[in-house]
Amino acid sequence: MGLEIMNKIIVANESLAINNTEALLEINSDILNLHCTGNNTILIKEMGNLTLNIILEDDSILNLYCLNYQKNDNHQVTIKQKNNTVINYHEIIINKTNCNLTIKNELMGSNNKSVLFLRVLSLAQEININVLAEAEKNTHDNLIVEDIKGITDGGKIVVEPHLEIWTHDILANHLVTISNVAPTDIFYLMAKGLSFKSAKTLLLKGFLLNALDDYKNILIGGEDNE
């Protein structure tokens, strides 16, 4: 697909309603209540210290792609799903300073799918990630997948998962992997002629950018940031 151009919505207020929307959001507020109907794809380039409240109305879909690059972020995300909804939440965090991310996913109804896909690179200091998933009583046919992978390259990553499940009719998976850049992978690429720096940069880019699918050029501004 390789999209290069996308509609931009400048958000100055605390509430935004979207319906069958594909856009890059430029958010000029510390709080955003995002109400979703229809099928939507939204990109956010920097979350900063944003408090983002996502409300998925019945029969709605949201594909959300976020890139947070070397900023002192302390953002919070709350996702509320009613009935027959899907959210695919993709976020990349690359930080040299302390960073805190809290995601709370509330499954209020039935037949919902929630996929949280996070890729994290800590270059210095500490990145703290708190993920809470709640499924209410008398709900059914819900699916929660939390897929969090991190690489530490001079920093530290701490993940605290919490699942509060009040129903038996649900499938909930929480997957966390945190590691360093594999020396064997760097050695292999250096054997092909790459320098140490180029080999490590290539591995980190491959690890991170696959989370952004076809929208990576928009979110990184068309540049090869190292």
Query: Could you report the per-residue pLDDT of 58-110, keeping only the tens digit for each?
Result: 999 999 999 988 666 789 999 999 999 999 999 999 988 889 999 999 999 99
Most confident option among 34-38, 73-77, 134-138, 150-154: 34-38
What pLDDT sits at residue 186? 93
Question: How many residues does the structure list for the chain?
Answer: 226
Identify the residue whose tokens are 């980190």.
Answer: 204
Helix or strand (DSSP H, E) at 184? helix 183-191
What pLDDT sits at residue 5? 59
Q: Could you tell me which residue, 23 or 72, shows the higher pLDDT? A: 23
Lowest-pLDDT range, 63-67, 88-92, 141-145, 213-217? 213-217
Bridge partners, residue 55, by sequence:
35, 80
Q: What is the mean pLDDT of the chain?
A: 90
User: Helix 183-191 crosses helix 196-209 at what angle (to 10 degrees)?
Assistant: 120
CB contact set of 10 (below 8 Å; sequence gap of 6+): 26, 28
Task: Please choose, from the candidates 213, 147, 148, 203, the residue with its C-alpha nearest in 3D space to the C-alpha of residue 180.
Answer: 203
User: What span, in angstroms and rounded, lies between the C-alpha atoms of 182 and 171?
Assistant: 32
User: What span, in angstroms and rounded, lies between the C-alpha atoms of 110 and 169?
Assistant: 10
Residues 21-41 have a mean pLDDT of: 96
The answer on pLDDT for 226 being more than 60 is no
CB contact set of 4 (below 8 Å; sequence gap of 6+): 217, 218, 222
> Would you place residue 213 in the very low, low, confident or very high pLDDT band (cuts 50, 70, 90)?
confident
Task: Please choose, from the candidates 162, 113, 159, the residue with its C-alpha nearest in 3D space to the C-alpha of residue 134.
Answer: 162
Dihedral over Cα of 11, 13, 14, 17: its sign: negative
The answer on pLDDT for 176 being more than 80 is yes
- Residues of the chain with pLDDT > 90: what percent? 71
Q: What 3-state DSSP class applies to 152?
A: strand
